[in-house]
Homo-oligomer: A and B are copies of this chain.
Amino acid sequence: MEQVKLYDTTLRDGMGGRGMSLSVGEKLKVVRALDGLGVQTIEAGFPSSNPKEMELFEQLAGLELEQATIAAFGMTRRRDRSAADDEALAVLVGSFAPVVCLVGKSWGLHLEKVIKVSAEENLAMIADSIGFCRERGKRAVFDAEHFFDGYRDDVAYALECVRAAADAGAENVTLCDTNGGSLPGFVAEATAAVVEALGGATEVGIHTHDDAGCAVANSLAAVEAGARLVQGTVNGYGERCGNANLATILPALQLKLGFDVVAPERLEKLTSTSLYLDELCNMTPDPDQPYVGRNAFAHKAGMHAAGVEADASTFEHLDPAEVGNQRQILASELSGKATIRSQAEGAGLELDEAAATQAVEQLKQREHEGYHYEAAPASFELLLRREAGSYQPLFELESFKVLVEKRADGAVETEATIKVKVDGKRYVRVAEGNGPVNALDSALRGAIADRYPHLAEIELTNYKVRILDESHGTGAVTRVLLDSADGEREWGTIGVSENIIEASWEALVDSLEYAFQQ
Contacts and interface: CB of A to CB of B under 8 A. Distances in A.
A145 to B, nearest CB: 11
Interface in A176-190: 178-185
Contact of A211 (B19, B210, B290, B311): B290
Contacts of A462: 467, 470-471, 473
Interface residues of A, number: 120
A468 B282 CA distance: 11
B300 A16 contact: yes
Given A399-B405, A403-B401, A469-B23, A245 B436 contact: no
A375 B224 CA distance: 38
B317 A212 contact: yes
A400 interface: yes
A372 B109 contact: no
Given A412-B499, A474-B504, A213 B314 contact: no
Nearest to A309: B113
Nearest to A293: B241
Interface in A357-375: 372, 374-375
Nearest to A25: B471
Contacts of A375: 18-19
B217 A109 contact: no
B467 A464 contact: yes
A290 B241 contact: yes
A402 interface: yes
Contacts of A236: 288
A167 B65 CA distance: 62
A28 to B, nearest CB: 11
A210 B403 contact: no
Contacts of A241: 288-290, 293, 295-296
Interface centre among A398, A437, A473 (most CB of B within 10 A): A473
B26 A470 contact: yes
Contact of A298 (B239, B303, B400, B478): B239
A474 B498 contact: no
Interface string A1-33: 000000000000000111101010110000000
Nearest to A16: B300
A224 B185 contact: yes
A108 to B, nearest CB: 11
Contacts of A352: none
B221 A184 contact: yes
A114 B314 contact: yes
A406 interface: yes
Name the 7 nearest CB pairs between A and B, nearest first: A181-B317, A217-B217, A460-B473, A213-B248, A465-B465, A435-B499, A213-B290
Interface in A203-218: 210-214, 216-218
Contacts of A210: 288, 290
Interface string A320-332: 0000000000100
A467 B465 contact: yes
Nearest to A245: B213
B436 A501 contact: yes
A508 B402 CA distance: 21
